[in-house]
Structure 1
Amino acid sequence: MTVVEPRPVVHRPGRLGRFATAAGRAAAIGLPTAGVALGVAHVVAAALGRPQTAPVLAVGSTVIDATPRPLKDFAIREFGTHDKVVLLSGVYLLLVLFAVGLGAVAGRRRAVGYAGLAVFVGIGVVAVVTRPASTGIDALPTLVGGVVAAVALIVQLRFSQTTTAADAARPRLLNRRQFLVTTGAAAAVAASAGAGGVALGRTNTPGSRSRAAVRLPAPADPAPALPAGVLTTMPGGSAFVTANRDFYRVDTALTVPQIDANAWRLTVHGAVDRPATFTFDDLLRRPMRERDITLNCVSNEVGGPYVGTARWLGVPLAPLLREAGMRAGADQLVSRSTDGMTIGTPLDAVLDGRDAMLVVGMNGEPLPLEHGFPVRLLVPGLYGYVGACKWLTDLEVTTFDAFDAYWVRRGWAARAPVKTASRIDTPRPLTTIAPGQVRIAGVAWAQRRGISAVDVSVDNGQWQPAQLADGPSPDTWRQWVLRWDATPGLHTIRVRATDGRGDTQPEARAGTFPDGATGWHTISVTVSG
C-alpha cells in the first residue's frame, strides 16, 4: 500500500486581508517617520523660543491665509474659539494620510520613499520661511526634524529586508520581530520628542517670564470713576467689565506669540519727517491714559459673544504720531504684528480726539499674552480688524491708495466704524423658565455714539422701553433690563437699540461681511405651565 503524505494547507489571505496587511505595514513605516519629523521639529522650535516655526503651525497658518472668506466665516460661526483646534485637526489628518502613503511607497521603492520624505520636509520649510516676519533660522526646526526622520526611515527600511530563502519569494515584507523593534523605536522617539516639545514649550516662554516682570506705572490720566448706576455685575447678564480670562479672542495666530518686552521695539515710519523707534521702557516713561472701552470683532453675528469691555492702560497715540511729523496727504495708519498681520486704520480716527492708545495694560495688569503682550493698538469705535492690532511692532503712516491691509485684501471694508447693536443675555435662548416676574436683560453698544435707548418686544407686541444702567462714556456698552410677566407657553423676545444720535439699529438682517452684522437679536423661550 502506498501512503500519501498529506499536503500542508496554506491559508492565503483574501483580498481584504491583503489590503489590511499592506495598509498596516505602510502605517508602521510612515507614521513613526512623520511623527519623528514633527516631534523633533517641535522640540527644536520650542528650544529656540519660537514655537510658531514648528512646521504644523506654519502649514496651518498658511492654510488660514489661503482659506476663502466664506469658509473662514463658517469656521468662526460654527466652531467659535475652537476654530483653530478644528483647523489643526484637519492638518494632522492630512499628515496621517500623507505618512501612510509615504510608508506604502517606501516599502516598495526606497528611492521614491526618500523623495516623498524630502517633499514632506520641503512643504514644511516653504510654509515656515514664507510666513511674514520669518528669519533664516526659522527653517532649522523643520530641517533638523527631517534629517532625524530620514535616519529613522533608513533604519526601518533596512530591517524590513527579508533574511530567509522562504521570505525571498515575498520581498519587502517585514519580519515580525524587526517590525516590532524598528517601528516601536521610531514611534517611541516620535512620542518622546512630541511630549518634550510640549513640555519645553510650556517652560521656555519668554513672553510669560517677561510679562511677570512688568510693573505698570500709575496713569497720569486715570479712568473716570464708574457712575453709581453702572451694574458691575448682573445676574444672568454681562458684568460691566469683562474679566481677562473671559474676554473674547479672535485672530489668525495658531500659537500665541512669545515676546520679550526687553527686546521689543516699535518702529514709526512712512510718511513722517522724523521716523522713530521706541522700546517698551520708552513707552512706560510716557504719560499713561486709562479708559473703559468696549471692543468688538467684525465677525460677531447678531447676538454673538465677540464683544467685551475692559479697563485699558496705554500711551495716547495721537501725540506720538504728531511728534513724528506726519506729512500732508496721509490717511491710513498701517499697524503690523510680530506674526505679520497688517491692520489699516483711518488716520482721522486716531487724530480726532478719541482715546486711541498703544495699550500696555488690561484690567489692572499687563496685557495677557493672548491679548497682545507687550503692546497692542486700540482705537475706540472701530471693529478690531481695523483698529486693534495685537503684538504690535510697527506703525507706518501711509495712504489707503498705497496699501491694502490683510483683511482688506480679502474683501472686507477698509473703513469699519462699529454699528449699533444689542444682545439678550438672559433668559437664554431655547430654555424653559418658570412663570411670573422674569428679568430680560442684556447689553447694547454703539461706540463713539453711545446708547440712548433700548426697547424690548415680546411676541411681536408693542415695544417696551428697558431700564438702562449708566455708562461712563459713549465708548462703552450699556447694560439694560426689563421686567416681564411671563405666562405659560412659547414666547419670542426681540431687542433693538437706539444710539446717541437718535438712530435705531435696523431690523434687516445682514451677515458680518464686509463691515459688520445688522439686525435685531431675537430668541425663543418656553414658560412652563
Structure 2
Amino acid sequence: MTAEKRVHSPIAAAVSGLLSAAAALGAAELAAAPLRPQASPLLAVGSAFIDLTPEWLKDFAIRTFGADDKTVLLLGLVAAVAACAIAAGLLSTRRPRLAAGGLMTLGALATVAALSRPGAVPADALPSLVAAVTGAFALHVLRRARRPRPPRPGLPAPAEAPRTDRRALLRTGVAVLGFAAISAATGRMVNGARDAAAGGGGLALPLPSDPAPPLPSGSDLRLPGLSSFTTPNRSFYRVDTALVVPRVPYRDWRLRVHGLVDRPVELTFDQVLSRPLVERDITLTCVSNEVGGPYTGHARWLGIDLARLLREAGVRSEADQILSRSADGWTCGTPVEAVLDGRDALLAVGMNGEVLPAAHGFPARMIVPGLYGYVSATKWVTEIKLTRFADEQAYWTRRGWAESAPIKTASRIEVPKPFARIPAGRTTVAGTAWAQHRGVAAVEVRVDEGPWTRARLAPSPTPDTWRQWHLDWSATPGDHHLEVRAIDATGQVQPSQRTPPFPEGATGRHSVLVTVL
C-alpha cells in the first residue's frame, strides 16, 4: 500500500482529457496522411477560421505577428483544443456520456469545416470522424483506469476512501500517449515522403530564350542595414491563406485555361517548360503592407508569357476578369487589360535562378507587375478562367477589397532604424522606394519638418522594380524626425495622409525618430 499514493481525482481527470485529445489528433494526422494534410481537423478548422476572420482581426494579426501569424493561429487552436479536452476530462468523472458527446460534437464541427473547404471531397470528413471516435474511446479507457480499485478478497473494506490504482492509470496513460506519438509520427513521415516527391528537388529548368539583362551597375548600394536589391528566396515575404504550404506533384500538375475563350487550353508542367521561357526583374508588394512595412521584395522570375498564353486561348471581348484558382482553392481576380497591355505578366516557374520554392507557388504562379498580390500573384495556380467581374468574385473581393488594385507609390527609410542612436556628423540616410509599372522618378527627405531635399537614386533595370536611394546628412546632436516621400514617373507625389491597407492598399509617408549623440 505504501508504494501507491492517492491520485488527486481532478488532476487525473484533466490529464486524461489531454491524453485523449493527443490520441485524437494523432489518429487524425494518420488518417489524413493518405488524403491531404488540409483534411486534418486542426487545419480544416484553422482554414475555416481564416475565411471567417473579420478584416480588423486579420490586419491586427499581420501587423502584430507578421509571417508568424499562421503559427500563432495554430498554437491558439491547440490551446483551445487543450482547454476543451481538460473540460471533457473533468466532466467524464461524473457525466461520462456528456463528455463523450462533447468530443463527438467537436469532431462533427471539424467535419463540417473540412467539407466546407474548396475542392473538398467526402473522404475529407474521415480524419475528423476518426479523431472524434478515437478521443471518445481513449477518454473511456482512461476513465476506467481511474476507477478506485476494489478491496482484495477476504479483506475488510478500508475505512478511508478507495484509492486509484496508480500503476494501472500510469500504464494506460503511457499506452494512450504512445499511440498518439506513433500515429502522429507515422502521419508526418507519410506527408514528408509525399512532399519530397512533390517538390522540384533535382529539377533543372531550361535556360530562358529571352533572358533579363544584367542589373545596372550600382543598383544595389550594399549599405549595412539596407535591403539587398534582390531579395533571397528564403527571405522573401510570404502572405497567403494557406495554413500549410500546398505540395503539388509537378508531374501531375495541370493548368486549365477556359471560360470566355475561343480555344480552351490545358498544359502540363513539361509542356510549360517546352515553351519559350522569359526572364524578368519584378518587385512584388502585398496589399497588407503598412506604410514602411516589410511585405515587398524583388526577384528575377522565369516563366512563360502570360499574355501570349491568353491570346492563344482567344479571349472573348466580353471578358474583363482573369479568375485564377490555386491548388488549395483560393481565388484571385485580375483585370484582363492589365495582362494584355504589354507589361511583363508571367506564368512563373523559377525564382532567382532556382526552381520556384514551394512556399512561393511551385509548380507555377502568376506574376503581374504593378498590381498588389491579391489581384495578380496566384501561387500554386491550377486554373485560369476568363470571366466578368459582374458575374464572379474572387476570395478577397468578396470580402470588400478593391477589384482593381494598382500598387501605390511608396518609400521607406531603412537606415537609420527607428529610435537609433547615432553619432553626430556626416551620416547616411537610405532606403527603398517603389511604384511598380510607373517607376520611381525621385525621392525626397526632410528633417524635423524642414525643406525637402532630393536623395540620390540608384539605377533600376525597369519601372517594374523598386529603387534604392541615399542621402548624406550632417546630423546635429538631439532628437530628430526623418521623413521620406517618393515621386513616380507620372509626377504623382506620395501623399502625406496615412490610410490603412483596406480596401486598396496603404498610403502615407514613412518616418523615423532618431537620437544624435
Specify the TM-score bucket, using the shorter chain as the normaliser.
over 0.9
Instruction: Select the residue among 422, 444, 459 that pairs with 1:470.
Output: 459
Conserved? CA contact 1:50–1:258, under 8 Å: no
Match of 1:33 in 2: 20
Distance 2:60 2:214 in 1: 40
Distance 2:483 2:193 in 1: 48
Match of 1:62 in 2: 48
> For residue 370 of structure 1, what is the amino acid of its counterpart?
A
Determine whether 1:42 maps to 2:17: no
Instruction: Select the residue among 189, 194, 200 that pairs with 2:184.
Output: 194
Determine whether 1:107 maps to 2:93: yes
Check 1:226–1:151 CA distance in 2 against 1; reply closer, same or farther (3 A cut).
Answer: same
CA shift, 1:49, in A, is 6.4
CA shift, 1:232, in A, is 6.1
Determine whether 1:501 maps to 2:501: no
Match of 2:154 in 1: none
Greater Cα shift, 107-116 or 237-246: 107-116
Instruction: Select the residue among 273, 281, 284 that pairs with 1:292.
Output: 281
Instruction: Select the residue among 165, 168, 177 that pairs with 2:167.
Output: 177
Match of 2:310 in 1: 321
Greater Cα shift, 401-410 or 209-218: 209-218
Match of 1:23 in 2: 10
Distance 1:312 1:120 in 2: 44
> For residue 106 of structure 1, what is the amino acid of its counterpart?
S
Match of 2:509 in 1: 520
Match of 1:86 in 2: 72
Gaps of 5+ in 2: 1-5, 152-156
Gaps of 5+ in 1: 1-12, 14-19
Aligned-partner SS, 2:200? helix
Greater Cα shift, 72-81 or 103-112: 103-112
Distance 2:12 2:117 in 1: 36
Match of 2:230 in 1: 241
Provide the aligned C-alpha RMSD in A: 2.0
CA shift, 1:81, in A, is 0.6
Conserved? CA contact 1:293–1:312, under 8 Å: yes
Instruction: Select the residue among 292, 317, 320 that pairs with 1:331.
Output: 320
Greater Cα shift, 264-273 or 130-139: 130-139
Which string of whole-angstrom CA distances, capped at 9 and with x for unpartnered residues, describes residues 375-395 of structure 1? 001100000000001110111
CA shift, 1:336, in A, is 0.4
Conserved? CA contact 1:232–1:241, under 8 Å: no
CA shift, 1:22, in A, is 4.8
Q: What is the TM-score normalised by the length of structure 2? A: 0.94
Match of 1:218 in 2: 207
> For residue 260 of structure 2, what is the amino acid of its counterpart?
A
Instruction: Select the residue among 120, 127, 141 that pairs with 1:141.
Output: 127
Instruction: Select the residue among 481, 485, 505 that pairs with 1:492.
Output: 481
Instruction: Select the residue among 91, 94, 116 that pairs with 2:102.
Output: 116
Match of 1:127 in 2: 113
CA shift, 1:26, in A, is 2.7
Task: Give me the identity figure in percent.
Answer: 52
Instruction: Select the residue among 144, 147, 158 that pairs with 1:158.
Output: 144
Match of 1:72 in 2: 58
Distance 1:147 1:416 in 2: 47
Aligned-partner SS, 1:212? coil
Check 1:493–1:232 CA distance in 2 against 1; reply closer, same or farther (3 A cut).
Answer: closer
Aligned-partner SS, 1:213? coil
Match of 1:6 in 2: none
> For residue 452 of structure 1, what is the amino acid of its counterpart?
A
Distance 1:206 1:324 in 2: 34
Determine whether 1:396 maps to 2:385: yes
Alignment length (residue pairs): 507
Conserved? CA contact 1:206–1:260, under 8 Å: no
Check 1:216–1:522 CA distance in 2 against 1; reply closer, same or farther (3 A cut).
Answer: same
Aligned-partner SS, 1:395? strand
CA shift, 1:21, in A, is 4.2
> For residue 25 of structure 1, what is the amino acid of its counterpart?
A
CA shift, 1:183, in A, is 2.2
Determine whether 1:451 maps to 2:437: no
Aligned-partner SS, 2:201? helix
CA shift, 1:427, in A, is 0.6
Q: What is the TM-score normalised by the length of structure 1? A: 0.92
Match of 1:10 in 2: none
Conserved? CA contact 1:38–1:145, under 8 Å: yes
